[in-house]
Structure 1
Amino acid sequence: MTETEMSGTEMSGTGMPETGIPASDVTGITMPGTELLATLLPPDVVAVEAFTDDPDAVLFPEEEATLARSVDKRRREFTTARVCAHRALAGLGVPPAPVLRGPRGEPQWPSGVIGSITHCAGYRAAVVARSTDIVTVGIDAEPNEVLPEGVLDQIALPEEHDWLGPLMHGDPAVHWDRLLFSIKESVYKAWFPLARRWLGFEDAAITVDPLGGTFSARLLVDGPVLPGGVPPGRGQRNHDLSALPEARVPERLTGFTGRWLARNGLVITAITVPGR
C-alpha cells in the first residue's frame, strides 16, 4: 500500500498525481466534531478539518525544519495538516506538540495518543484519540474523480474488479475506483502503527456496502497481535490463561471495518479499532 502520510494523505508512496477540487472551491475550517469526519468516527476520536490554508499559520520549529527544501505546495499542505493535528490534540486535552514524520512518513504522536492525517487538494484533516480508548485509526480523503489511467489495475484484486464493475456503471455520484483507493490508504494507515511493516495494495481484499456507507477489509497476510488481547474464552481455542482473572488471550488482526462518504467533491474513508 503506501507509507502513512499518503498521496492525498501523508505516507503515500503511490506516486499518483495530485488532482482534485481547487482550494478556492470550498472555504472554512471546522473544529472537533467536524462536519464531514464526525459522521464516520466514534465520539472517542477528535477530528479537525480545514478547507483552506492559513498563510499565517505557525509550526513548531522542529516541524518547520523538515520543510527546508519543500516547494510551496508541499509546505502549505503540510502546515495546514499539522495545524489541524495541533488543534485536535488540544481538543483531546493534550498539550500541542510537534508532530514529526517517522521512517515511513508516519506521523509521530505524543505518548498515549494515536492518530492519522490526510490531505488532498482543497482538504486537510487530522484525527487523534487516546490509545486507551482506540487501538488504531486511519483516515483518507481523495478528490471524487476517476483514478488516473492504469492506477486501478495496480491496486485492485480480481475479486474487487468483480464488484467494482457494476458500481462503476451505476451511480455516477461516486467514483468507486477512487473510493477503493481511499479505502486501501486508510487500511494502510490503520495497519502500520500496529504492524510497523509494509502492506501492499494486493495484501487486503476490500468489499463495500454502497448503500450503507460501510466497508470491510480482509487481510491476506498475517496481521499483528492486537495490544491488550481479548478476555479469555472469547472466540479462542486455548483457554490456558483463564485461570488468571486479569489475563487476556492474544488476538491477531485479520481485517478492518470502516465507513465512507462522498460529499463536497471528496471521498473520505475512516477506520477505527476500539480498545479491547
Structure 2
Amino acid sequence: MEIVTIDQRNIMVGIRPIEPCDESTLYASEVMSIGRAVAKVRRESGAARAAARTLLGQLGFPPMAIPKTRSGVPIWPTGVVGSLAHHVTVAAAAIAGTKKIAALGIDIEPNEPLPENLIALIATPSERRMYDLHTLKRRDLFVLKEAVYKACFPMDRQFLEFQDVEIDTFARSGHVSKANRTFSLELIISKNVIGVAYSRPNEVDAPLQNQRPSP
C-alpha cells in the first residue's frame, strides 16, 4: 500500500488496489453496519477499511473494526478523525489525530476526463468563470467537493449539493456556503485523482476571498 503524508505529516493517506478477497477482511460489526450490500460494495468497503487499519497501525492502534453510523459516517477510535473512499479498482483512506486535525474528508476517482455534460452540475457559475475548460473537464473539482462534503457532514449533518461548495484551487481552500465553513485542500494526482479536505481545531471559518481568474 502506498502511504502519502500531507499538512506537515499531520495527515496520512493510504492508497491500495482493491483485491478479489477484500470483502473477507471485513469485521462482523462492519458487515452489520454495511447491511445487505452486494459483494462488489463489500469488497470495496473492505479494501478501504484495510487501508485505514494499516494507517491506524502507524499510530500504534491494534487492528480494529471501523463500522459506520446509519448516516454512513465511519466510526473512528477516540483521538482519531478519518475518511474512506474508493472507485472501482482502488481504495483510499485518510486519518489524523484530533489534536492537529478537527475534520477530514477524502475522495478518489480515476484520472480520466469528466463527461462534459456534468460540468454545469459540478462547477458553480464563479468556478466556470475562474477555470478554463481543460481544468473543468478534469475530475479535480469533483473529488475536492466530495472530500469537503465528507469533512463537513459529521460536524453539521447537512446534505450538500455540488453548488453548495466553492473551490479555490489557487488558495487550496473550499468554502461551504450553507455552513459558513472553509476547509484546506490537497490534490494528489497520478493514475488516480485524490482530493483531501481538512480543518484544524479552532480554525476560523471564513468565506473565500480574493479569488483570482484562471491564468
Give secondary structure in 2 for the equivalent of 1:275.
Answer: coil
Shift of residue 67 of structure 1?
A: 5.0
Shift of residue 45 of structure 1?
A: 2.2
Q: Which amino acid aligns with 2:194?
A: I
Instruction: Confirm or deny: 8 A CA contact 2:33 2:70 kept in the other structure.
Output: no
Shift of residue 258 of structure 1?
A: 1.0
**Residues 1:257 and 2:214 aligned together:** no
Q: Give runs of aligned pairs for residues 112-127 of structure 1, distance below 5 A.
A: 112-127=79-94
Q: Which amino acid aligns with 1:263?
A: S
Partner of 1:218 in structure 2? Answer: 175
Q: Give TM-score, length-normalised by structure 2.
A: 0.82
Q: Give TM-score, length-normalised by structure 1.
A: 0.65
Partner of 1:99 in structure 2? Answer: 66
Cα distance in 1 for residues equivalent to 2:176 and 2:35: 38
How big is the alpha-carbon RMSD for the aligned residues of Structure 1 and Structure 2? 2.3
Relative to 1, partners in 2 of residues 1:58 and 1:185: Cα closer, same or farther, differing over 3 Å?
A: same
Instruction: Confirm or deny: 8 A CA contact 2:12 2:55 kept in the other structure.
Output: yes
Instruction: Confirm or deny: 8 A CA contact 1:146 1:175 kept in the other structure.
Output: no
Shift of residue 183 of structure 1?
A: 0.8
Relative to 1, partners in 2 of residues 1:176 and 1:147: Cα closer, same or farther, differing over 3 Å?
A: closer
Instruction: Confirm or deny: 8 A CA contact 1:114 1:131 kept in the other structure.
Output: yes
Give the unaligned 5+ runs of structure 2. 203-215
Larger radius of gyration: 1
Give the unaligned 5+ runs of structure 1. 1-28, 169-173, 224-253
Cα distance in 2 for residues equivalent to 1:65 and 1:103: 11
**Greater helix share, structure number:** 2
Residue 157 (structure 2) aligned to one of 196, 207, 230: 196
Relative to 1, partners in 2 of residues 1:67 and 1:256: Cα closer, same or farther, differing over 3 Å?
A: closer
Question: Larger relative contact order (C-alpha < 8 A, sep ≥ 6)?
Answer: 1
Cα distance in 1 for residues equivalent to 2:64 and 2:173: 33
The percent identity for this pair of structures is: 32
Give secondary structure in 1 for the equivalent of 2:64.
Answer: coil
Aligned residues: 201
Shift of residue 52 of structure 1?
A: 3.6
Shift of residue 185 of structure 1?
A: 0.4
Instruction: Confirm or deny: 8 A CA contact 1:145 1:175 kept in the other structure.
Output: no
Instruction: Confirm or deny: 8 A CA contact 1:152 1:177 kept in the other structure.
Output: no
Instruction: Confirm or deny: 8 A CA contact 1:46 1:92 kept in the other structure.
Output: no
Shift of residue 141 of structure 1?
A: 1.0
Partner of 1:270 in structure 2? Answer: 196
